[in-house]
Every structure is written in C-alpha cells, then in structure tokens.
C-alpha cells in the first residue's frame, strides 16, 4: 500500500471537493492511530460481481466446450481429468462471463487463461487469467493470479492489474463455486473488489 493508510478510506469521495479536506486528513491521521482495528475498514473504490462458465472438453462436446485439458502427468490423458485430484492437469479456457448465474445470459466478456490442478490430496488449482470485458458498461481487462483451494466455500485471489476502464487497478477477487456438474461444467462467482482505482 502506498503511503497514507487512513487516507485511502476518506479520500475517494471527499478529497476532490474541497481544499479543506487536505487539512482534515492531517488531523485524521493524527487521530487514527487510536483505532487499531482500522485495518479492516478498507472499502473497495470499485466493485463488480460477475460469473463465468467453464465447459471442459471430454472428447464428445467439441462444439460446446470452452476449456480443454492440454497437459497431464505421466499416464493420464487429455479427455479425462487425471486421478489423484486431477494433480498435474493444465486446462486452457475461454469462458463466457455473464452478469448473473445463467449460462444463457448475454455474455459481457470472456474469461481467458489457464488453471492448473496442483495438489495430490485435495482439489486445489492455481489460476492465471484475464477478464476481457466488452459491454456498454465496461471496456477493458482485469488480470488475476492466485491459489484456488476449490473445496473452500469462499477464497481470495489477487487482482494484479488492469487496462482500459480498469487502468492500473489492483484489488482482491473473492471467488465461489456457484455450481458444478461432474467433471464437465462449473460456474464461478467472482466478486472483484478494487482498492486501487486510479
């Protein structure tokens, strides 16, 4: 985090309206240390909730599939996720993003990148992907990386950068598995919370 911690909290809305704020924030600074719990008060400067839908190629759904297994450990193949919690599978995806949890809703962009199953004794993935948003409301990209302990209900990854409407943004994305159907379909709910907005 930049320099002024507490400033973040008050600055986004008030700072630009009055020179008075600059003085106010100095006073605020000197007071804020009295509240050790302030660290948890961060509020996103921008927030988006989006869903994306992943249909994994299984040898029979070429037309619908939005993801494919492209790497696997020794002895595994590319149309069935590997045993041992899929350890060693890399899947590449280009998934539709929607505003709600309905796969048929008009997409507002694409989630593009990869996930890597990286654990032998539970389902855990490592994610590297981008939201490419292209709608009347948002134009730009958001870049994510992080560990995804799939069996945990709600987990956090990093928003490491953005372009267009999300120029230089950083934040946290909280992801939840909203639905899954065997090894063929899953849907993630992504709550993107930006804390650096530019």
Q: Scan residues 122-161 and list those touching a second copy (CB under 8 A).
A: 124, 126, 128-130, 132, 141, 143, 145-147, 149, 156-161
Determine the size of the site formed for a second copy (CB under 8 A). Answer: 85
Expressed in angstroms, the distance from the first to the final Cα of the chain is 14
What is the DSSP code (8-state) at residue 56?
B
Q: Which stretch binds a second copy (CB under 8 A): 47-55, 63-71, 99-107, 183-191?
A: 63-71
Report the nearest approach of a second copy to the CB of residue 103 (Å): 17
Q: Which stretch binds a second copy (CB under 8 A): 23-31, 48-56, 100-108, 176-184?
A: 23-31
- Asked if 169 is part of the footprint of a second copy (rule: CB under 8 A), the reply reads yes
- Asked if 184 is part of the footprint of a second copy (rule: CB under 8 A), the reply reads no
Pairing of the two strands 109-117 and 170-181:
unpaired
Cα(156)–Cα(172) distance, rounded to whole angstroms? 6
Cα(43)–Cα(46) distance, rounded to whole angstroms? 9
Alpha helices by DSSP H, 86-150: none
């Amino acid at each position: 985090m930049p320099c002024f911690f507490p400033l973040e909290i008050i600055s986004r809305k008030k700072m630009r309206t009055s020179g008075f704020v600059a003085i106010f924030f100095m006073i605020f600074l000197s007071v804020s240390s009295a509240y050790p719990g302030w660290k948890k008060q961060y509020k996103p400067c921008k927030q988006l909730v989006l869903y994306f839908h992943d249909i994994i190629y299984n040898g029979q759904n070429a037309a619908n599939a939005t993801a494919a297994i492209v790497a696997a450990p020794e002895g595994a193949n590319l149309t069935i996720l590997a045993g041992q919690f899929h350890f060693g599978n890399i899947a590449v995806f280009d998934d539709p993003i929607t505003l709600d949890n309905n796969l048929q809703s008009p997409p507002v962009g694409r989630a593009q990148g990869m996930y890597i199953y990286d654990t032998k004794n539970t389902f855990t993935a490592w994610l590297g992907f981008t939201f490419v948003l292209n709608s009347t409301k948002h134009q730009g990209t958001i870049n994510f990386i992080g560990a995804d302990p799939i069996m945990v209900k709600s987990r956090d990854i990093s928003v490491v950068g953005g372009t267009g409407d999300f120029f230089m943004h950083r934040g946290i994305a909280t992801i939840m598995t909203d639905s899954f159907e065997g090894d063929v379909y899953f849907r993630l709910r992504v709550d993107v919370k930006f804390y650096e907005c530019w």
